[in-house]
Amino acid sequence: MYRRALALDDKYVNAYNGLGLVLSDQKKLKEAEEMYRRALDLPDNTTGTPTTAHTLAHNNLGRLLQEQGKLEAAIAEFEKATKIDPKFEFASNNLQEARRLLSLQQQPEQIIALNNTKYLPQEDPLTRIKRSIVKISVVFTGNAKGTAYGTGYVVKRRGTTVWIITNRHVVVDRDTEQRGDNLEVEPYYGENLPNLPRDRVVAKIIHITQPEENLDLALLEVTGLPDDISPLTFHQGEINPKTRISIIGHPESKDWSKYEAITIGIQSSSGNLLIDVSLAVGGSGSPVFDQEMRVIGLMFKTINESQIDSPGIGFAYPIDRVLQKLAQWQVVVP
């Protein structure tokens, strides 16, 4: 298809990107690299989605170089992609991950280990809560996207095994319906951390809702998280409009950020909670707390200013619905 398009128009920049992806999937890496570089030799196409053609070409090229272990060259490409479009999440995430991998490669002993607690604010009452909220990283290989981040929180612990709830779309590619690779979670290590890579644990998906369901949930299982990381406290019951709430998550790589908001009400058609807040990418799966820091919901979607004429609306599942699904999965929470 792409070759036919280029036969008709050899300056069709998006076709070079598409052909490069096909060749990359076929492990024809040299030919794929040539296609990306040809795309970059042509004028940029800024009308496409999700970003410009040159942003995609640099990101695709960076992914290809990283796959070959050429981390410094990959970093250079991701930097070029983020310079063109700072809002293209995959390029900025890929840049973070490539820098992390390079640091681990060059100084493997320089890592903030799982048992490191020296940076935890011991007097902060939020520390215990943040420890139960994790940052999820996953790699989507379709369309050479790369790393995506999301939020999850602990719902159950038994010995060294921990169960974490998040959104389905955090761990499954929305475009291809393929589960992501290299699924890992990172605990909260504290504040004012040195510029060093932080240790993670491998996660596996043990339950997941189906695409046609009206719930977007996934349950992860991990082992090896520190002993002090425990389930959050839940509160079921009616949630009134204009209830003051807070959300903790990782939107726009602002890790473990707390946002204050108020509830708008319950959506009559779905039973979902509407919140007067607009969270960016990375906030999916965040816990919603009442004023006593009990979990009353789980964020799954936001509509921002560019989509509607309002400051932003967030959608969350009331915790009752989440716990009902966990019960169906035969996961009994405290």
Whether the Cβ atoms of residue 196 and residue 159 lie closer than 8 Å to each other: no
Domain boundary among 191, 223, 255: 223
Whether the Cβ atoms of residue 202 and residue 221 lie closer than 8 Å to each other: no
The lowest-confidence range among 93-102, 204-213, 273-282 is: 273-282
Tens of pLDDT, residues 110-145: 999 999 999 999 999 999 999 999 999 999 987 768
Whether the Cβ atoms of residue 304 and residue 312 lie closer than 8 Å to each other: yes
Between residues 311 and 279, the one the model is more confident about: 279
Q: Give the percent of the chain with pLDDT over 90.
A: 76
pLDDT tier at 311, thresholds 50, 70, 90: low
pLDDT average, residue stretch 205-218:
95
Which domain CATH number covers 322?
2.40.10.10
Domain boundary among 192, 223, 254: 223
Same domain, 198 and 248: no
Beta bridge partners of 278: none
Same domain, 288 and 215: no
Tens of pLDDT, residues 26-58: 999 999 999 999 999 999 999 988 899 999 999
| Mean pLDDT across the chain | 92
Report d(CA 301, CA 313) in Å as an integer: 9
Report d(CA 88, CA 269) in Å as an integer: 33
Which domain CATH number covers 71?
1.25.40.10
Does 113 fall in a domain?
A: no
Same domain, 205 and 156: yes
Does 233 fall in a domain?
A: no
Tokens 């719930």 sit at which residue?
215
Does 96 fall in a domain?
A: yes
Q: Which of 281, 291, 206, 216 is nearest to 250 (CA)?
A: 281
pLDDT average, residue stretch 259-281:
81
* Residue 308: per-residue pLDDT: 39
Q: Give the percent of the chain with pLDDT over 70.
A: 95
Tens of pLDDT, residues 155-211: 999 999 999 999 999 999 988 889 999 999 999 999 999 999 999 999 999 999 999
Does 118 fall in a domain?
A: no
Same domain, 55 and 91: yes
User: Which SS3 state, helix, strand or coil, does residue 256 take?
Assistant: coil
**β-strands 218-223, 244-249: how paired?**
unpaired
* Residue 307: per-residue pLDDT: 41
Look up the domain containing 159 and give its range: 126-223
Q: Which of 61, 83, 89 is nearest to 73 (CA)?
A: 61
Domain boundary among 106, 140, 156: 106
* Residue 256: per-residue pLDDT: 95
pLDDT tier at 305, thresholds 50, 70, 90: very low
Whether the Cβ atoms of residue 184 and residue 200 lie closer than 8 Å to each other: yes
The lowest-confidence range among 195-199, 225-229, 308-312 is: 308-312
Same domain, 140 and 49: no
Structure tokens at 148: 């995506």
Does 322 fall in a domain?
A: yes
Does 320 fall in a domain?
A: yes
Whether the Cβ atoms of residue 14 and residue 1 lie closer than 8 Å to each other: no
Does 70 fall in a domain?
A: yes
Number of domains present in the structure of the chain = 3
* DSSP for 273-290, written as a single string: EEES----TT-TT-EEE-
pLDDT tier at 254, thresholds 50, 70, 90: confident
pLDDT average, residue stretch 243-254:
88
Tokens 């979670």 sit at which residue?
185
Beta bridge partners of 111: none
Same domain, 2 and 78: yes
Sign of CA dihedral 307, 308, 310, 313: negative
Max mean pLDDT range (264-273, 291-300, 305-314): 291-300
Whether the Cβ atoms of residue 287 and residue 133 lie closer than 8 Å to each other: yes
Structure tokens at 223: 């082992």
Alpha carbon 94 to its chain's center = 12
User: Which SS3 state, helix, strand or coil, does residue 244 take?
Assistant: strand
Does 76 fall in a domain?
A: yes
pLDDT average, residue stretch 217-242:
94
| CA distance readout (Å), 7 to 12, 24, 298 | 10, 20, 49
